[in-house]
Amino acid sequence: GESVGLHLPTLSVQEGDNSIINCAYSNSASDYFIWYKQESGKGPQFIIDIRSNMDKRQGQRVTVLLNKTVKHLSLQIAATQPGDSAVYFCAENYPGGTSYGKLTFGQGTILTVHP
Amino acid sequence: DAGVTQSPTHLIKTRGQQVTLRCSPKSGHDTVSWYQQALGQGPQFIFQYYEEEERQRGNFPDRFSGHQFPNYSSELNVNALLLGDSALYLCASSLQFRETQYFGPGTRLLVL
pLDDT category of residue A97 using cuts at 50, 70 and 90 = low
Q: How many domains does chain B have?
A: 1
The confidence band for A2, taking pLDDT boundaries of 50, 70 and 90, is very low
Across chain A, how many H-helices and E-strands are there?
A: 0, 11
Decide: B24 and B5 in contact? Cβ < 8 Å. yes
Coil/strand/helix, residue B12:
strand
Statement: residue A1 has pLDDT above 60: no
Q: What is the pLDDT of residue A60?
A: 93
Which carries the bigger pLDDT value, residue A26 or residue B30?
Answer: B30
Nearest to B101 among A103, A104, A106 (CB): A103
Residue B90, classed as helix, strand or coil, is strand
What's the gap in Å between the CA of B80 and the closest CA on chain A? Answer: 25
pLDDT digits (tens, 9 = 90+) for A55-83: 999 999 999 999 999 999 999 999 999 99
Note whether B7 contacts A: Cβ–Cβ < 8 A: no
Q: How is B32-64 classified by DSSP, letter by letter? A: EEEEEE-TTS--EEEEEEETTEEEEE-S--TTE
Q: Which of B9, B5, B3 is nearest to B74 (CA)?
A: B5
CATH number at residue B52: 2.60.40.10
| Whether B60 contacts chain A with CB within 8 A | no
A8 has a pLDDT exceeding 60: no
Q: Residue B56: what pLDDT?
A: 87
Q: What are phi and psi of B81, to 5 degrees?
A: -55, 140
**Predicted pLDDT at A9:** 85
* Chain B residues near residue A106 by CB distance under 8 angstroms: 42
> Quick check: A29 pLDDT over 90?
no
- Cβ of B103 within 8 Å of Cβ of A46? The answer is yes
Residue of B nearest to A48 (CA): B100
* Domain carrying residue B66: 5-111
User: Could you give the domains of chain A?
Assistant: 4-114 (2.60.40.10)
| Residues of chain B where predicted confidence (pLDDT) is lower than 70 | 1, 97-98
